[in-house]
Structure 1
Amino acid sequence: MRRVVVWTAACLAVLLTAGIATAYGYYHSLRSGMVQHDLEAALDEGERPEKISDAVNILFMGSDGYEEGSTAYTTEFEGERSDSIMLAHISPDNRVSVISFPRDSLVDLPQCDPYGTAEGTHGYFGMINAAMYHGGPPCVVRTIESLTDVRIDHFVHLSFMSFRDVVDAIGGVDICIPEPMKDERSKLDIPAGQQTLTGDQALSFVRARYEIGDGGDIGRIDRQQMFMAALADQAMRGEVLSDPRKLHGMLTAVTTHSATDSRLTLDRMLSIAVSLSDVDLSDIEFHTVPWYQAPFDPNRILWHEDRAEELFTAVREDRPLPPLMAADEAAVPAEPPGASPSAVDSPGDSPSPEPHAARPGEGRDATSNPCADGLGFGTGEEAY
């Protein structure tokens, strides 16, 4: 009997050790593919906002750097700019708010030190998407922190390939499209009706701009927010999180084609994902920074400072975000405060669409559903 007990214990020890070794090997293989940036070393702590709540703020940056095999508009421009910037605010009480910062925004860019191949920059008034060009992800974090006074806990720099592979890993994203959509520049061609978008289709969908709606960035942000709501809904479902193949695909896509800060480790990602598993889609709110058309350039926008500050203060203090009501035309200032057309000189500039009618940003709930049987969105000016 003693011999049987000893051999049983030994076998269990071997199996347990093998399991631990296998798990560690898997963890190490995923982690080794992650590009990580040391924000603490790149940014001056004395210039960063103080953290005053237990909420987690994660800055998502989608870049327009060209990748072979991806749906990219062009290789004409050198360097990399932020194609989209979103701040996800995750509250301990299961509230999630996502704030979009339009890439056409003219803002006060802060001074950024050289980083990697980027040469850094002095502070100046220009396009918000130029921060990535000047100083990589740390400069984008510094820019958002300087504009919002919100402490960024983590960031995720998503590439085209990462976004595409995440969508494919979960089997595509279901979304309802009320009318056909086509945009040659992003290679988008989708019929109307209930659709399951593949990774390539999803990438074209969130990047389409010039031939959809009014051709502006704000309409594209609306579509991005609606798609991200559908993506979050499907990614957090039990059939995805409990499916080893799909979960492995998502983790591999994130770790292979994206970059994070060094503190956003794989176990930290999983911890955040588990905490979000109890969040209902109706608890996710999407907002766009309140804005108005720049008087001196119909293709650029400025922020309503008072209303934007109300939004940022709510995030800082971890309070429910205020409903952002459309401003009266009379409330739009005739001139942008502290700016002039001659002050704009940004390498973030790119070919502009035709002038489009501006409308102030407006918060909306992620459950908006123009389609009867699934998540959808409008494609005309009336839908925005």
Structure 2
Amino acid sequence: MSDDAPAAPSDAAPRRRWKRLFVWTSAALAVVLVAGVGTAYAYYRVLRGNMVQHDLSSALDEEERPPKIGEDINILFIGSDGREGGNSAYGGRDFVGERSDSLMLAHISPDNGVTMVNFPRDSLVQLPECQPYEGTEGTYGYYGMINAALYHGGPPCAVKTIETLTDIRIDHFVHLSFVGFRDMVDAIGGVEMCIPEPMRDERSKLDLEAGQQVLDGEQALAFVRARYEIGDGGDIGRIDRQQMFLGALAEQVTSSDVLTSPSRTTSLLQAVSEHTATDQDLSLDQMISIGSTLADVDLHDITFYTVPWWPAPLDPNRVVWDEERAAELFQAINNDRRLDDAALETGAPSAPGASPSPSAQPSPSYPAEPSTEPVDAAADQAEAIEGRDATSNPCVNGLGEGTEEE
């Protein structure tokens, strides 16, 4: 036997020890990961339990709803102007009930990115009949303000209104308050924006200097709510600013450590759970599925649109939809196909200069068949429906281009 023969067993022993160490380390890591997932899921369950959830299936008649088409997901975001609790700090303490301060449809497609459609709150539309819901009185169908649907029948009535007007199936909804929006912006550390010129609006308490800056929750809320002392004082200009803010928000969330920071993620989840209501079907699995879809979406594939509109013939403070072009927009979304911006261009005529009524009471006396003839202001239509992707920079494209004169 050679002198080297005894060395073999001694070499094998360290290898066995390293193998055992690797196995035990892997097992320990697996236990830690499983425990972490379990803790995260338990934490999610606690947060989810704090959220207000609505049962759409019992509140809406399935036979009256549009059919589900394809694998895409449609989520209706309802920004509420209710003044209960902490929201009373934002004016109108004698305000009764709540109306939708903003309505936005997010169409999330695995193939075509994300399409966001704003419905102007000043829109005069045919509201459907809605049943009483959780303290609301319900309503008969009449021609009035779109934001009154929430007042009459809560989130189910808002969902029914959009489904009736667009023939698009709403899969889920998110009902958000002023305080919830403010706290979510603060939770991610604010949103960086470039403000092209000083902006002041006493009602919304907006006071911003020009230049690159980070908006905290209060400033962001004032920015997206401002309307009366900025631009033409109408809702269309405000929608333009809201879209720009959401573009900046999307860019920041996807390009920073917001989603990888435990503290910020925790604060964000707490803000969502405390101030947001959803439908019961927006489950953990659904959220994960939506999140995985959005993870692969490029910012250029997030596009914002506003429903094509005309100034209302009998009230310059209101708008009516351009039915033909609005139908083209809704059909494109329903069929999950890319929108043909050239075909959809209507351009928004300059919105009326007078300030709309802040109370936005419904007006059942309006005629059921509004005129679709354009008024003089429509002669200078520019870019009402033209899509804007999420990379739009207000300091490049300008709040004055598409807000002040749009």
CA gap of 1:257–1:319, structure 2 versus 1, over 3 A, is same
Q: Mapping of 1:221-260 within 5 angstroms? A: 221-237=239-255, 239-260=257-278
Question: Which structure 2 residue ranges, 5 or more long, are not aligned?
Answer: 1-15, 350-362, 368-375
Could you tell me which of 31, 34, 38 is aligned with 2:48? Answer: 31
d(CA) in 2 for partners of 1:225 and 1:87?
Answer: 12
Which residue of the other structure, out of 125, 128, 140, is the alignment partner of 1:107? 125
Segments of 5+ residues of structure 1 without an aligned counterpart are 330-340, 346-355
Contact 1:58–1:156 (CA<8 Å) still a contact in 2? yes
Q: What does residue range 147-226 of structure 1 map to in structure 2 within 5 Å? A: 147-226=165-244
What is the RMSD of the two structures over their aligned residues, measured on CA atoms? 2.7
1:364 and 2:382 are equivalent in the alignment: no
Q: 1:213 to 1:327 in 2, by over 3 A?
A: closer
Give, as a single letter, the amino acid of the residue that structure 1 aligns with 2:61. D
In structure 1, the residue matched to 2:70 is: 53
The letter of the residue matching 1:344 is Y
8 Å CA contact retained: 2:112, 2:336: no
Match of 1:76, SS? Answer: coil
Which residue of 128, 133, 157 corresponds with 1:139? 157
| Structure 1 pair 253–38 and aligned structure 2 pair: CA distance change class (3 A) | same
- CA distance in structure 2 between the partners assigned to 1:58 and 1:211 by the alignment: 31
Note the C-alpha offset of 1:376.
Answer: 5.7
The sequence identity of aligned pairs, in percent, is 61
Query: In 2 relative to 1, CA 15–142 (structure 1 residues): closer, same or farther, beyond 3 Å?
Result: same
Provide the rounded CA distance (Å) in 2 between the counterparts of 1:232 and 1:368.
11
Between the aligned partners of 2:319 and 2:291, the Cα distance in structure 1 is 34
Aligned-pair distance for 1:30? 1.2
Shift of 1:187: 0.7
C-alpha distance in structure 1 between counterparts of 2:216 and 2:158, whole Å:
29
1:284-317 CA-partner distances (Å, limit 9, x unpaired) = 1111110001111000110111110000000110
2:309 paired residue among 291, 306, 318: 291
What residue is the counterpart of 2:366 in the other structure?
A: 344
Shift of 1:94: 4.5
Relative distance call for 1:17 and 1:239 in structure 2 (3 A) is: closer
Within 2, Cα distance between the matches of 1:327 and 1:225? 16
TM-fit CA distance, 1:142 = 0.2
User: What one-letter code is carried by the residue in structure 1 that aligns with 2:330?
Assistant: F
Distance 1:200 1:110, change over 3 A: same
Residue 129 in 1 paired to residue 147 in 2?
A: yes
Residues 305-384 of structure 1 mapped to structure 2, 5 A cutoff: 305-323=323-341, 324-326=344-346, 343-344=365-366, 359=381, 361-366=384-389, 367-372=391-396, 377-378=399-400, 384=406
TM-score (norm 1): 0.86
Give the letter aligned to residue 35 of structure 1. V
State the SS of the aligned residue for 2:203.
Answer: coil
SS at match of 2:95: coil
Structure 1 residues 227 and 376 mapped into 2: Cα distance closer, same or farther (>3 Å)? farther
Instruction: Measure the CA separation in 2 of the matches of 1:43 and 1:150.
Output: 15
Offset at residue 41 of structure 1 (A): 0.8
TM-score, reference length from structure 2: 0.81
Q: Tell me how many residue pairs correspond in the alignment.
A: 358
- Separation of aligned partners in 2, 1:91 and 1:14: 36
Q: CA deviation at 1:256?
A: 1.4
